[in-house]
Amino acid sequence: MIRRVRWSIWVLLGLFFLGTCVVMGINAYVTLSTEERILSAEEAAKLENMDCILVLGCGVEEDGTPSDMLRDRLDRSIEVYQLGAAPKFLMSGDHGRVEYNEVGTMKQYAIGEGILSQDIFMDHAGFSTYESLYRAREIFCADRIIIVTQKYHLYRALYIAGQLGIEAYGVASDQHTYGGQMMRDIREVAARCKDFATTMMRPRPTYLGERISIQGDGDLTNDY
């Protein structure tokens, strides 16, 4: 009996060790394989024939204004746009409920900063990083993109993009230290493992629909 218990403990410890090695290995692979595609805004401006700047949603306050992290993403994306890196924006986020509209908030913020409305496309069904990138290619016909988000998130976004056949580069939007970042970093390790598996299975996103070329008029995506 004691021998069986000891054997079970060793098996459990072995499985835990193996699982930890797999998780750490995937995490290292996702980050190291995408590191070289993270650029400064100035470096991104030297890229040629980019289709758009993809801004990933990140929460809206109760008063309808962007969260601190989302505002930093928007400000950095506007900087990249003004440097001439790409001619269009694709604002992708959650608009699954009438009362919660990330992408509408994002577009209105950019317009308030002087960006032309027709240069801003909205993806109302960007419910996850994977779905945002899948839809960027399949719905908006974007094959060469610049992704703007915080650096911890960029590795996963760039990895997903590469696995979906998108030529993508990233510009980090970090402009200060964010509260709760340690917990985000921990969750991100799990998210990288999840999306590592997701890109192998290639599930369809929640919604697809008719194509809207990113080369056209962004106001076609307005819902107001």
Show me where the domains of the chain are located: 33-221
Instruction: Report residue 17's pLDDT band, with 50, 70 and 90 as the boundaries.
Output: low
Looking at the chain, the whole-number percentage of residues with pLDDT higher than 90 is: 80
Q: Helix 181-201 and helix 2-32: axis angle, to 10°?
A: 90
- Chain segment 88-118, per-residue pLDDT in tens: 999 999 987 877 889 999 999 999 999 999 9
pLDDT surpasses 80 at 57: yes
Alpha carbon distance 122, 92 (integer Å):
6
DSSP labels, 129-141 = HHHHHHHHHHTT-
Q: H helices of the chain, where?
A: 2-32, 41-44, 68-82, 102-112, 129-138, 151-163, 181-201
pLDDT surpasses 70 at 2: no
Alpha carbon distance 102, 92 (integer Å):
8
pTM: 0.93
183 SS3 class: helix
Alpha carbon distance 49, 85 (integer Å):
9
Alpha carbon distance 191, 193 (integer Å):
5
Contact in structure between 169 and 39 (CB atoms under 8 Å): yes
Instruction: Report residue 193's pLDDT band, with 50, 70 and 90 as the boundaries.
Output: very high
34 SS3 class: coil
> What topology is assigned to 33-221 in CATH?
Rossmann fold (3.40.50)
